[in-house]
Amino acid sequence: MSRAPGHAEPASRPKADWKCAFCKVEIRWAGPHRDRGLPANWSKEHGGPACLACRRDLAAEAAVEQQTELSFKERARLRSFALLEFEVRRDPDRSNAEIAGAVHTSVVAVQKARDRIGASSFPA
């Protein structure tokens, strides 16, 4: 084997396997993992594949898009609720502390999100 070190073979230069339709971040599967599907934590949205960061944004945005009468503060609150609920639903087996760390909030806020989901109907 006489391969130049640190130089990938140009013939099979991998193009991005996935590109987020929203923020344009790109993911490439390396080596033997190439044929895997959508990257972990990505999803297919109407606009195309979405990375986790954009999925969070979309979840938060979806919560307020119909709410035209809300103040800025109320919208921010709804967005953060929606973001937390998205995170809890995405992987309910994580501890509250893990989820809180992932989205930079408090453990109490995560527990409240779980309670809201458990109650299933969002309090008006």
Q: Which residues bind Zn ion (CB under 5 A)?
A: 20, 22-23, 51, 54
Q: Please, what is the minimum distance in Å from the beta carbon of residue 90 to Zn ion?
A: 15
Query: Which H or E run contains 107?
Result: helix 107-119
Q: Please, what is the minimum distance in Å from the beta carbon of residue 29 to Zn ion?
A: 17
**62 or 97: whose CB is closer to Zn ion?**
62
Angle of CA points 104, 106, 112, to nearest 5° = 120
CA dist., res. 114 & res. 118, Å (int): 6
**47 or 92: whose CB is closer to Zn ion?**
47
Q: Please, what is the minimum distance in Å from the beta carbon of residue 38 to Zn ion?
A: 13
Task: Dig out the tokens for 84 from the structure.
Answer: 């937390």
* Greatest pairwise CA separation for the chain in angstroms: 68
**55 or 75: whose CB is closer to Zn ion?**
55
